């Protein structure tokens, strides 16, 4: 019980962990593209986000080579999230192992956002960073109920961390938040105990939509890798000659389809857009028709 803290969503957990860990000027490594809250939370804690570029040719998986180029004596920690938002990338235990060695070599702490860990597809397997050799004492695991149990608005999450570190996080949590609302906590208990079948049914439906949207994007000529987790897909839209922001603005004006510019998730996201398939199949199919028309119009 002294290594788990219930939070108001995973986002509160990340913010409290960074506030507890970060001294002014500390550098925090963040693979890019990344969820928009990561750098914002680092800055709020007085830290400096250091973006580590990842690339489509590697399915946006972070590498030790890229990390080594950016680590400095000021580096305190790294924030990672797999399955990844916005790309849908999943890293295997074998791929994470050298990252763990890098973390040990430079005496870092890892904040591992695992909110999408139940939403995995094909032959992909989820590995918690804390399960890697010697990483349990260096890892703060962030998770919640919003994705696997569709409890987004109820704001319920949790932190798993070594007791010494969690004691410091608890000091901040109890005076700034006090506790997550009781109704959500009762709902979370039911979700954990009784809702495995519903979660699996939801995962299978996301998988069905993932395959449809992947095929639709490929058919319209957009380069894209098939995501292995979460419910996002991240196609390359540079064939239109537009920036990510221009593509999104023009698409919503002309075809009433809303997607998110990849540049919102970091410099490495420029030239891509994030599409969520947490929508009905009917909506996805109609959106693909409109996008295909749009891409054909502007394809260069």
Q: What is the pLDDT of residues 260-279, one digit of tens each?
A: 999 999 999 999 999 999 99
Residue 252: pLDDT over 80: yes
Q: Which pLDDT score, from 0 to 100, does residue 168 have?
A: 95
Cα distance between residue 275 and residue 214, in whole Å: 10
3-state secondary structure of 233: strand
pLDDT for the residue numbered 175? 93
**CATH number of 197-298, picked from 3.90.1150.10, 3.30.160.100, 3.40.630.20, 3.30.56.10:** 3.90.1150.10
Please state the rounded mean pLDDT for residues 273-299.
97
Average pLDDT over residues 96-109: 98
pLDDT, residue 94, reads: 97
User: 127-175: per-residue pLDDT in tens?
Assistant: 999 999 999 999 999 999 999 999 999 999 999 999 999 999 999 999 9
Report whether pLDDT(1) > 80: no
Q: pLDDT, tens digit, for every residue of 195-216?
A: 999 999 999 999 999 999 999 9
181-197 per-position pLDDT tens digit: 999 999 999 999 999 99
Q: Spell 54-75 as b/e; 16+ CB within 10 A means b.
A: bebeebbbbbbebbeeebeeeb
Per DSSP, the residues of 50-68 read EEEE--GGGTT---HHHHH
Q: Each residue of 11-29: b (16+ CB within 10 Å) or e? A: bbbbbbbbbbbbeeebbbb
The CATH code belonging to domain 4-193 is 3.40.640.10
pLDDT at 300 over 90: no
Q: What percent of the chain has pLDDT over 90?
A: 99
End-to-end CA distance of the chain: 58
DSSP 108-170: -EEEEE-TTTT-B-TT-----GGGSTT-GGGEEEEEESTTTSS-GGG--EEEE--HHHHHHHH
> Chain-wide mean pLDDT for the chain?
97
Q: Comparing 4-193 with 197-298, is the CATH topology the same?
A: no
How large is the average pLDDT for residues 74-86?
97
User: Can you give the residue ranges of every domain in the chain?
Assistant: 4-193, 197-298
């Amino acid at each position: 019980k002294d290594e788990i803290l219930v939070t108001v969503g995973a986002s509160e957990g990340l913010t409290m962990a960074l506030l507890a860990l970060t001294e002014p000027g500390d550098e925090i490594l963040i693979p890019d593209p990344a969820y928009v809250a990561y750098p914002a939370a680092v800055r709020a804690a007085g830290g400096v986000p250091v973006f580590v570029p990842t690339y489509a040719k590697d399915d946006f998986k972070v590498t030790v080579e890229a990390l080594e180029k950016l680590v400095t004596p000021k580096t305190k920690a790294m924030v990672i999230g797999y399955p990844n938002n916005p790309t849908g990338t999943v890293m295997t235990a074998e791929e994470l192992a050298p990252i763990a060695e890098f973390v040990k070599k430079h005496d870092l702490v890892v904040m591992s956002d695992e909110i999408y860990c139940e939403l995995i597809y094909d032959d992909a397997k989820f590995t918690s960073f804390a399960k890697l050799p010697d990483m349990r004492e260096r890892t703060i695991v962030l998770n919640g109920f919003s994705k696997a149990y569709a409890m987004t608005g109820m704001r319920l999450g949790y932190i798993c961390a070594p007791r010494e570190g969690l004691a410091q996080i608890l000091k901040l949590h109890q005076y700034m938040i006090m506790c997550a609302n009781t109704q959500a906590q009762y709902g979370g208990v039911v979700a954990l105990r009784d809702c495995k079948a519903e979660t699996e049914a939801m995962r299978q439906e996301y998988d069905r939509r993932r395959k449809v949207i992947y095929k639709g994007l490929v058919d319209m000529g957009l380069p894209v890798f098939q995501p292995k987790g979460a419910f996002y897909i991240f196609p390359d839209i540079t064939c239109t000659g537009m920036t990510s922001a221009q593509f999104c603005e023009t698409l919503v004006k002309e075809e009433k389809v809303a997607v998110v510019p990849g540049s919102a998730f970091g410099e490495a996201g420029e030239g891509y857009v994030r599409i969520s398939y947490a929508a009905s199949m009917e909506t996805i199919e109609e959106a693909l028709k409109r996008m295909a028309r749009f891409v054909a119009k502007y394809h260069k």
